[in-house]
Amino acid sequence: MDLAIARRLHRRGYRDRRRVHWEIATTPEYPRRSASSPEKGIPVVFAYIADAHDNHSGDGTFGPGEAGYVAQLSDYNAAFGTFFANLAKAGFTKDNTLFIFTPDEGDHFAGGAPSPANCDGVTTPCTYPPNPATGAPGIGELDLFLNNVVKAAGDSTPFAIHFDDAPTVYVPGQPGPSDSTVRQLERTMASLSVVNPHTGLSESLLGNGLGPELQGALVDPVAQKLLHMNSKADSARTPTFTFFGDPHFFFETTSNPKNTTTTASVGTGFAWNHGDIQPEIGRTFIGILGPGVKNLGVTEPSDFFTDHVDVRPTMMFLAGLKDDYKTDGRVILEVLDHNVLPSSLHAHSGTLLKLGQIYKQINAPFGELAASTLKVSTFALESDSRGDAIYTRLESLIASWTDERDELTAQIKSMLDAAEFNGEAIDEEQAREIIRKGEALLEQASDCASKPGSCGHVELSDGDGA
């Protein structure tokens, strides 16, 4: 059995003979209903738990350290204790059952400063009073009509967005990335700033100048392809570009001609934004417990990289199963007991681990290559050079990185799949060469991200002309 507990994805429960989805609340029904699924012979159970920061006993949401938030977490802890006790009574323990816990993503809190300033939520509860200067409520995302702000900036280009703090933008007619109207719209959005009612200060909607915890990015279909964001099945679903914004804001549009509001308002019903690229949103955790899993305690992000696509192959491997296709993930060998590994995974184990890590760093949406690409793409889309030369040059570079990445990952996927599920040891020499090329790609992209204005230039001799 695999028990994957993530944030609530559905408001209603769903069950069939293969899987169970439950919205788990802090009620006595929670442990009993969830534990009953394996008892009825369902071998794999997926359970979703409601996020703890929303007020499930009333309206609105909590800020960090608020008394209601802490009390709700205490209720969750008690419910989990009962849940595991019930499972143990039914014969399901870490000795015969695989447990996997992971959130789908992190959240960014949008709100004012806590009071008192030294509150910790444990010994001193936090409160979030209204801002004395603006009168804005202390908790809530900043709702903003993006089309009104764009129009007020002098850009009348029509567009639609998916409402979010990282909206995908669609310009009617599906113009290409280099279309002059699209390029101007990208520059306009990148330049926008609005007053944050929580602070009374003007903030860049792209997060420029606000530090790495709030910095956003701009990507069009070229970088979206590297980030695995383009739709292969339906090109109409591929965004014209994506605006990864300041996570304090929740961007919307309005079709009401009488609504010309260009100021942000505090939406007190929601205060935890996600779907963006900032570290607290993109960096989550995974906990794995069960037969064949090592007890590593708490690891650090620098120890090794893994993400959600690795959960399935790891689960399949530990269950002795295999898919009939190559997955995009890998078995997380770093967490597995060496005694359960076949000889194909013992052979060249050091190189195999490096191969898996380079695979993640060049292929994962939050890997090193993706992080560098976000910086380079943002510089390219913000640029306004003569003939759009900077944009064209950097877009060409990103496209070349994608092609090289795809060639490397195709080889790595085949090697990892053969070693993990078909008992075939990797070719040491081939693997080392792939690792070398992957590291070179990461270094090239990182260097470009550190100085995007100059990377990609071709040095000319005196006789070549300018």
- Encode pLDDT of 309-351 as tens digits: 999 999 999 999 888 888 999 999 999 999 999 999 988 899 9
The band of 171, judged by pLDDT with boundaries at 50, 70 and 90, is: very high
CA-based Rg of the chain, rounded to a whole angstrom?
A: 25
Task: Give the integer Cα–Cα distance in Å for 222 and 444.
Answer: 18
- Mean pLDDT for all residues in the chain: 89
pLDDT recorded at residue 233: 87
Q: 38-47, 127-136, 160-169, 340-349: which has the minimum mean pLDDT?
A: 38-47
- Encode pLDDT of 140-157 as tens digits: 999 999 999 999 999 999
> What mean pLDDT is predicted for residues 118-130?
96
pLDDT recorded at residue 38: 63
Phi, psi angles (nearest 5°) of residue 32: -70, -45
Q: Taking 70 as the threshold, does the pLDDT of residue 209 lie above it? A: yes
HEC states along the chain? CEEEEEECCCCCCEECCCCEECEECCCCHHHHHHHHHHHCCCCCEEEEECCCCECCCCCCECCCCCHHHHHHHHHHHHHHHHHHHHHHHCCCCCCCCEEEECCCCCCEECECCCECCCCCCCCCCCECCCCCCCCCCCECEEEEEHHHHHHHCCCCCCCEECCECCCEEECCCCCCCCCHHHHHHHHHHHHCEEEECCCCEEEECCCCCCCCCCCCEEECHHHHHHCCCCCCCCHHHCCCEEEECCCCEEEECCCCCCCCCCCCEEECCCCEECCCCCHHHHCCCCEEECCCECCCCCCCCCCCCCCHHHHHHHHHHHCCCCCCCCCCCCCCHHHECHHHCCHHHHCCHHHHHHHHHHHHHHHCCCCHHHHHHHHHHHHHHHCCCHHHHHHHHHHHHHHHHHHHHHHHHHHHHHHHHHHHHCCCCCCHHHHHHHHHHHHHHHHHHHHHHHCCCCCCCCCCCHHHCC
Quote the percentage of the chain above a pLDDT of 70: 89
pLDDT recorded at residue 257: 94
- Encode pLDDT of 4-56 as tens digits: 332 222 222 323 322 333 333 334 344 444 555 566 566 778 888 888 899 98
- Report which of 252, 270, 276 is spatially closest to residue 262, judged by C-alpha positions: 252
pLDDT recorded at residue 48: 81
- Encode pLDDT of 376-417 as tens digits: 999 999 999 999 999 999 999 999 999 999 999 999 999 999
> What mean pLDDT is predicted for residues 269-277?
95
Task: Give the integer Cα–Cα distance in Å for 373 and 394.
Answer: 10
pLDDT recorded at residue 458: 45
Q: Taking 50 as the threshold, does the pLDDT of residue 163 lie above it? A: yes
pLDDT recorded at residue 37: 59
Residues near 207 by Cβ (< 8 Å), separated by ≥ 6?
Answer: 214, 215, 216, 245, 246, 247, 278
Q: Taking 90 as the threshold, does the pLDDT of residue 160 lie above it? A: yes
pLDDT recorded at residue 21: 31
pLDDT recorded at residue 45: 80
- Encode pLDDT of 410-452 as tens digits: 999 999 999 999 999 999 999 999 999 999 999 999 999 999 9
Task: Give the integer Cα–Cα distance in Å for 11 and 22.
Answer: 9
Query: Two tokens at 63?
Result: 């800020």
> What mean pLDDT is predicted for residues 161-177?
97
Query: 47 with 34: CB under 8 angstroms?
Result: yes
Query: 163 with 141: CB under 8 angstroms?
Result: no
> Measured on CA atoms in the order 201, 202, 207, 209, is the torsion positive or negative?
negative
- Encode pLDDT of 84-121 as tens digits: 998 899 888 999 999 999 998 999 999 999 999 999 99
> What mean pLDDT is predicted for residues 117-126?
96
pLDDT recorded at residue 464: 34
> What mean pLDDT is predicted for residues 177-202?
97
Q: Taking 60 as the threshold, does the pLDDT of residue 246 lie above it? A: yes
Per DSSP bridges, beta strands 272-273 and 108-109 are: antiparallel
